[in-house]
Amino acid sequence: MNDFSLVCRVLGSLFYRQPQDPLLEPLFALISQGKLEQHWPLEQGELLARLQQEYQPDALAADYSAMFVGDDCRVSPYGSDYEDGCPEVEVRAFLQQRGMPLGDAPTDHFGGLLLAASWLEDQAAEDEVAAQIALFNDYLLPWCGRFLGKVEAHASSGFYRTLAQLSREGLQAMWDELSEDTLRP
């Protein structure tokens, strides 16, 4: 797994899965022990240290549910709920055209889109960079700033405020990398 895929997978998983999901236990172990930084490809040590300090499992579950779960959630994680986001059917069609296996869950979830970016990177198709650029440019970047701003404003735990900042910087770094890839001959 390369750096781009790792960043997308970690950030995507933390937003897509509820904190009590057993699949997150190894990731939360790295965070709580301060060991994520040794695997993290971006220079974000201060934010990663803050993420470790703010890690409180019971508070995370309540905060995640209040922000992202249910019809009365404080922050919708779905791009189609933002004026700059695309309809979910467009996102689904885009991912299906690239052969991504999809279930019934909506495909325009912020975390899900980051996981899709990781999947595209790991598939290493000939047009992987073009597909990743399209995913970022058309389906993620137009609305992610508003989403992350809402997370920062509505999170009751410092963990999710820090995760939003980490994500904002990480997305910018990944977008810069993708943009540079298109300029190379």
pLDDT of residue 122: 85
What is the model's pLDDT at position 41? 86
Sequential DSSP letters for the chain: --HHHHHHHHHHHHHHS-TT-GGGHHHHHHHHTT-STTT--SS-HHHHHHHHHH--HHHHHHHHHHHHSSTT-SS--BGGGSTTSPPHHHHHHHHHHTT----SS-S-BHHHHHHHHHHHHHHT-TTHHHHHHHIIIIIIHHHHHHHHHHHHHH-SSHHHHHHHHHHHHHHHHHHHHHHHHHH--
Encode the chain (185 residues) as per-residue pLDDT tens digits. 488 888 999 999 999 999 999 999 999 999 999 999 988 888 888 999 999 999 998 899 999 999 999 888 999 999 999 988 889 999 999 999 988 989 999 999 999 999 999 998 888 655 577 888 899 999 999 999 999 999 999 999 999 999 999 999 999 988 988 887 665 55
* Confidence (pLDDT) at 87: 92
Q: What is the pLDDT of residue 179?
A: 82
pLDDT at position 183 is: 56
**Residue partners of 131: CB distance under 8 A and separation at least 6:** 98, 120, 125
Residue type at 105 in one-letter notation: A
* pLDDT of amino acid 124: 65
Prediction pTM value: 0.92
What sign does the CA torsion over 182, 138, 9, 96 have?
negative
Question: In angstroms, what CA-CA distances link 59 with 70, 111, 148?
Answer: 18, 20, 19
CATH, range 3-182: 1.10.3480.10
Predicted confidence at residue 150, as pLDDT, reads: 96
- Backbone dihedral angles phi then psi of residue 183, each to the nearest 5 degrees: -85, -20
Q: State the greatest distance between any 2 C-alpha atoms of the chain, in Å, as a whole number.
A: 50
